[in-house]
Amino acid sequence: MEHSRQTEFTSNDGKDTRDTTLVVNGHFDGVVKKPSAALQSPATESGSHRSAASVSESWKEEHARSVEDNEVSLPSLAAAYTTILRGLGEDPHRQGLAKTPWRAATAMQFFTKGYQETIIDVLNDAIFDEDHDEMVIVKDIDVFSMCEHHLVPIIGKVHIGYLPNKRVLGLSKLARIVEIYSRRLQVQERLTKQIAVAITEALHPTGVGVIMEATHMCMVMRGVQKMNSKTITSTMLGVFREDPKTRDEFLTLVRS
């Protein structure tokens, strides 16, 4: 069962000795493609086995279509930014703004590239059978997203923990999952849950915990203008939700 809520980093001092893998300052180190559908094995399609070469060719075709779609949409995005500049009372043809619509359109495509990416591409060949059932944590993953209400940045960090069920995920892939969902128009509550659900569907672990803490420019630059405000959200699934001792261990290690 999925669960998402606001939380503070508080912990009971219940001791549960576990061997724990910690990775600090995880960073995204790659690019993937197209939006995700249901997570399923890329080797299975309509009940028949697909070869690795067939799957690879399919991904290449999807990537080519994605690049083509971006190239087609770029002029219309640039035209929209030209309209915005005129609406602000600016002259879009003056020297300082002459190339701004094109630059802004290219930047917006990058900020929202998660729509062109898929979890299947990221996880290909990165799930390993491993006799390990102790907590794995990757903390301080930098996250940059865009508020879907005001189209201004959300900047923060994500902390992920999971209890493997005889299968583990390549550590950098956790950061890439964060990148896929953060590079879309978002609200923080949904982003936190999407990350946790994607890991659950990919690995079927005993439990998953995701915590995100972020600053929203819609609160800092406009509106209430609270410079130091932070929003903290969490999603706890499986044993992370059901067992207070496991949840407390996760919260303690994230805070440490």
Kindly report, residue by residue over 200-244, the tens digit of the pLDDT.
Answer: 999 999 999 999 999 999 999 988 888 888 999 999 999 999 999
- Asked about 188 being catalytic, the answer comes back as yes
Among 116, 147, 186, 249, which one carries the catalytic annotation?
Answer: 147
End-to-end CA distance of the chain: 28
Rounded distance between C-alpha atoms, residue 165 and residue 206, angstroms: 6
Instruction: Provide the mean pLDDT of the chain.
Output: 81
Asked which of 2-11, 110-119, 171-180, 230-239 is least confident by mean pLDDT, the reply is: 2-11
- Asked about 109 being catalytic, the answer comes back as no
- Asked about 186 being catalytic, the answer comes back as no
Among 150, 189, 213, 242, which one carries the catalytic annotation?
Answer: 150
Short-list 235, 238, 201, CA closest to 37: 201
Kindly report, residue by residue over 93-105, the tens digit of the pLDDT.
Answer: 999 999 999 999 9
Which one-letter DSSP state was computed for residue 91? -
Query: How do beta strands 21-24 and 231-238 pair?
Result: unpaired
Among 90, 213, 218, 242, which one carries the catalytic annotation?
Answer: 218
Please report which helix (H) or strand (E) contains residue 202, including its range: helix 188-203
Short-list 215, 256, 195, 254, CA closest to 2: 195
- Asked about 213 being catalytic, the answer comes back as no
- Asked about 148 being catalytic, the answer comes back as yes
State pTM to two decimals: 0.73
The predicted pLDDT at position 121 comes to 82
Among 179, 186, 194, 216, which one carries the catalytic annotation?
Answer: 216
Average pLDDT score over residue span 157-173: 95
Average pLDDT score over residue span 111-138: 90
Q: What is the largest CA-CA distance in the chain?
A: 65
pLDDT at 134 over 60: yes
Average pLDDT score over residue span 66-80: 79
Query: How do beta strands 153-163 and 44-45 pair?
Result: unpaired
Domains located in the chain, CATH noted: 67-115 (1.10.286.10), 125-254 (3.30.1130.10)
Among 45, 149, 201, 204, which one carries the catalytic annotation?
Answer: 149
Asked which of 19-28, 190-199, 203-212, 241-250 is least confident by mean pLDDT, the reply is: 19-28
Among 63, 116, 117, 188, which one carries the catalytic annotation?
Answer: 188
Higher pLDDT pick, 5 / 186: 186
Asked which of 22-26, 157-161, 177-181, 207-211 is least confident by mean pLDDT, the reply is: 22-26
The predicted pLDDT at position 57 comes to 57
